[in-house]
Amino acid sequence: MITVGVEEEYLLVDPLTAVPASRVEEVSRTAGLGRLAERGEVQDELLQAQIEVATPVCSTLAEVGGHLLRLRHALASAAEANGCRIAATGAAPLPGDRPVPVTPMPRYRRLEGAARQLVDEQLICGMHVHVGVPDPETGVAVLNRIRPWLPTLLAMSVNSPLWDGRDTGFASWRTIVFGRWPVSGPPPAFDGFADYERRLDALVASGVVADRAQAYWQARLSDRYPTVEVRCPDVQLRADDAVMIAGIVRALVATAVAETEAGVAPDPCAPELLHAANWHAARHGLNSTLVGRDGLPCSSGDLLSALFRHLTTALEESGDFREVSALVHRMLREGTPADRQRRALADGGLRGLIDLITGTTASD
């Protein structure tokens, strides 16, 4: 069984106004004193109104879901004890009166000095899925094979339509904010692991990025774990939404590994088309066409069907097919998280939005 782990980032917000609350130190300390979160599972992020959790290495989606629920409960309780809530939204819907302070760590201070406005506006939260690979060479082969599917995965996971008190017109504004960094978006194709390392080293040597971790590609090799790390999804409203994404990512990686072992060549995908497809997915989610792997417009339903045909064998071998397909069908009935945010705001105003992005983080 290919292993999988998930990292989720959340905002800390005022429960009445949804304004970011700079209380990460207090919330982290309180969560660490409880019985539900282990040391190292709760981590600081760039800004003091953000907090991150990381599951242990998991073999099944049931484990992923159980750990995410446990950690969401731990943080929700810790946040309530400190006068705020955790919000599972990809972007802060409302700003505060002043910029949120940077977490006082040397790396974050360097980022603040290099790009102050970008750091001030980095009130965005993602979901990172780590999937185990046997070796770095295979990992790079996986990156080359999954990159054409990243816009489709993004379109399914969009959860950040609101920013600065208004609808941005984008389903994933987080993707647009992240795209302003020097190295971001879908990764290029690589000619093996040596080429991957050479290009990362060249980026660092250029001085434009401070370190390898600042290569914010939507999929990359982890420098800490023997995994491929897929970073394009927004954080999800519900834990089982995150389980759905994790199951799809694991199946993408498993399929890519099988294709590599069978000597199947990766689909060619021009970088300009892939970046255009990514922007289009961030703009519309599933509420329009998507750009197919051939670079032509395709209905979102047809592309999702193609994705499932591509993944069926891997999902069946892992025992995930029934659960993932049921969650995808529910998402198609209810809409993406971005659709649900817009409905909550239209139907219930700010109160309805707050209840959605903070009320479902731990209960579902």
Q: Mean pLDDT across the stretch 240-264? A: 97
**Six-digit token pair at 209?**
């990025």
In this prediction the pTM is 0.95
C-alpha torsion 344→348→350→353, nearest 10: -30
Share of the chain above pLDDT 70, in %: 97
- Distance between CA 95 and CA 264 in Å, rounded? 48
186-229 pLDDT, tens digit per residue, is 999 999 999 999 999 999 999 999 899 999 999 999 999 999 99
Residue 39 in this model has a pLDDT that exceeds 70: no
Query: What per-residue confidence (pLDDT) applies to 35?
Result: 65
- Distance between CA 34 and CA 281 in Å, rounded? 40
Q: Between the CA of residue 351 and those of 18, 170, 245, 339, 355, what are the distances in Å?
A: 9, 22, 28, 17, 6
Q: Taking the domains of the chain in order of start, what are their residue ranges?
A: 4-359
- What's the CATH architecture for 4-359? 2-Layer Sandwich (3.30)
294-306 pLDDT, tens digit per residue, is 889 999 999 999 9
Helix axes 193-206, 136-146, angle to 10 degrees: 80
62-78 pLDDT, tens digit per residue, is 999 999 999 999 999 99
Query: For the chain, percent helix, then strand, then coil, each to nearest 5?
Result: 50, 15, 35
Higher pLDDT, 232 or 36: 232
198, containing H or E segment: helix 193-206
3-state SS, 21-51, equals CCCHHHHHHHHHHCCCCCCCCEEECCECCEE
